[in-house]
Amino acid sequence: MKTKITELFGIKYPIILPGMSWISVPELVAAVCNAGGIGYLATGSLSPDKTRTAIRQIRELTDKPFGVGVSLLMPKAYENAIIAIEEKVPVLNISLGKGGDLIKKVHDYGGKVITTVTTVGHALAAQKSGADALQVTGYEAAAHGSQVPTMVLVPAIVDEVKIPVVAIGGIADGRGMAAAFALGAEGVGMGTRLSITKESPVHDHCIKTQLESGIEDTIYSNRFDALYCRVLKTPSAEKAVKEGRNIVKGFKATFSIAKSLNSSWMDMATSNLSSPKGEKNAKPKDAAPKDNPVKKKNKSFIGKMSNSYQTAMNLAHMAQGYVAVQNAVENGDLEQGVYLSGQVQGIIHDVPTVAELINHTVEECKKIQKGMADKAL
């Protein structure tokens, strides 16, 4: 199967495993790569040292191209991106932040960058920054998808950009793959589907619960981890969304994150309060001040303090989600934990190997495409 994505990444099939924390681990990433697709190592829960170790582990498990995902809103994300660049990973996936300087660094050694976007505006900005492709995440997806369905979002973005698009959200088989191609996508991501495979590290209880759940058994809300996010509908998830931000629990959770990232709490808490070099929105040097300089300086200071406070509050909120998701994925605890799942859980009924899933998806897609072509004659 040849598309612009297979040619760009040097892979056999245009099927992607997104970087899902605690799920997209080296073993699952390598399994997807060895089956002809491409997987992204999730680094949101990893320290820079652990990221380097995981990258090298993937290289021991596969000789195929693979990717590393970095969500720039997360603590230590920029440092993890630099590790990936030092290791010269074939593909870097950037999400939740600007990545212009990172894109240049990846291109310097011949790597490729795919940026995750959820709006047309973000897509255009990513293209302008130099991204080689876009990962367009629709409303149906697990975790942080758009507020617009994949069926509408993908063609809207395809119409506006000149770089290839990968569709994510609502795709679990060859039917979804064929539909994505019809919308103009050059590849598909299947996070929820690939997490329900024999090589997946997800706890059996979570997988069993997903298989028993329907397409309506998810919750989409911005009250879980400060961003619009889709989770499996359980009593613990409903409680988390109902309660929203709990500052005390949130700040306690940040200590758990700091420990997992081998970082001090203060270092982690302040890591995202300033932009990395090259990411600041500088104003022209000759721009004339419109207000009193002293007043403007004070206003600027207050603005920065306000932004820092809001960032700290969002970090605390996200930390709550971080701990809850880890508890579900690793321990299968759906009483206290919360699991991220896409609406496609309702059309998934088995637990195949990664290779079986990818081969079946591709063959089903080809069969559908042929059938559609025959109908057009």
Q: In this structure, what CATH number is given to the domain that contains residue 198?
A: 3.20.20.70
Instruction: Look up residue 40 and give its DSSP letter.
Output: E
Largest CA distance in the chain: 74
Is pLDDT above 80 for 260? no
pLDDT, residue 225, reads: 81
Q: How many other CB atoms are there within 10 angstroms of residue 3's CB atom?
A: 17
Asked whether the predicted pLDDT for residue 65 surpasses 50, the reply is: yes
User: Would you tell me how many other CB atoms lie within 10 Å of the CB of residue 313?
Assistant: 15
CA distance 228 to 221: 5
User: Rounded distance, CA 234 to CA 218, Å?
Assistant: 8
Residue 292, pLDDT > 90, answer no
Residue 286 lies in a domain: no
- 280 band by pLDDT with thresholds 50, 70 and 90: very low
CA distance 70 to 79: 10
Q: Is the per-residue pLDDT at 146 higher than 60? A: yes
Q: State the DSSP string of 266-332.
A: HHHHHTTSSPPTT-S-PPPTTPPP-S-HHHHHHHHHHHHHHHHHHHHHHHHHHHHHHHHHHHHHHH-
Single pTM value for the model: 0.85
The reported pLDDT for the residue numbered 319 is: 64
Average pLDDT over residues 41-52: 95
pLDDT above 90: residue 163: yes
Distance CA(310)–CA(332), nearest Å, equals 32
Does residue 47 sit within a domain?
Answer: yes
The pLDDT assigned to 313 comes to: 56
Taking alpha carbons only, the member of 252, 263, 260 closest to residue 330 is 260
**Total structural domains within the chain:** 1
Identity of the residue numbered 95 = S
Segment holding 220, helix H or strand E: strand 218-221
- Per-residue pLDDT of 296-312, as tens digits, reads 445 454 444 445 545 55
Question: What does the pLDDT average to over 129-133?
Answer: 97
Judge whether 17 lies within some domain: yes
Residue with the bigger pLDDT between 225 and 58: it is: 58
**Would you say residue 294 lies in a domain?**
no
**Containing domain of residue 146, as a range?**
4-206+348-376
Q: To the nearest whole number, what is the mean pLDDT of the chain?
A: 87
Angstrom distances, CA of residue 58 to CA of 38, 161, 178, 254, 302 = 12, 32, 30, 29, 46
Answer yes or no: is 270 within a domain: no
Q: Is residue 57 part of a domain?
A: yes
> Which one-letter amino acid corresponds to residue 97?
G
In a domain, 254, yes or no: no
The length of the chain in residues reads: 377
pLDDT higher for 191 or 267? 191
Average pLDDT value for residue range 251-261: 55
Rounded CA-CA distance 53/365 in Å is 36
Strands 187-189 and 15-17, how do they pair? parallel
The dihedrals phi and psi of 318, each to the nearest 5 degrees, come to -65, -35
d(CA 114, CA 284): 30
The DSSP symbol for 93 reads E
- Residues whose CB is less than 8 angstroms from the CB of residue 42 and which lie 6 or more positions away in sequence, other chains included: 19, 20, 21, 22, 23, 24, 25, 69
pLDDT in the model for residue 139: 98
Question: Using CA atoms, how far apart are residues 69 and 77, in angstroms rounded to an integer?
Answer: 9
Pair 69, 91: CB distance under 8 Å: no
What mean pLDDT comes out for the span 253-275? Answer: 54
Helix or strand run (H / E) with residue 250: helix 247-260
- Classify residue 177: in a domain, yes or no: yes
Is residue 277 over pLDDT 90?
no
